[in-house]
Amino acid sequence: MLTKADIKYINSLQNKKYRKIEHAFLVEGLKNVLELINSDFQIERVFCTEAYQSEIKNSLNKRAVSVEIVSEKDLMQSGTLETNTTALAIARTKKNINIADIQNDRLIIALDAVNDPGNLGTIIRIADWYGIKDIVCSLDTVDVYNPKVINATKGSFARVNIHYVDLALFLNQNREIPILAACMEGESIYKMAKKLPAILLMGNEANGISSALLACVTDKISIPRVGGAESLNVGVATGIIVDRLLN
Render pLDDT for 138-177 as a digit per residue (tens, 0 to 9). 999 999 999 999 999 999 999 999 999 999 999 999 999 9
Render pLDDT for 63-107 as a digit per residue (tens, 0 to 9). 889 899 999 999 988 999 989 999 999 999 999 888 888 888 899
pLDDT given at position 141: 98
CATH number, span 99-246: 3.40.1280.10
Q: Where do the domains of the chain lie?
A: 4-92, 99-246
CATH number, span 4-92: 3.30.1330.30
Whole-angstrom distance, CA of residue 87 vs CA of residue 43: 13
The reported pTM is 0.95
- Average pLDDT for the chain: 95
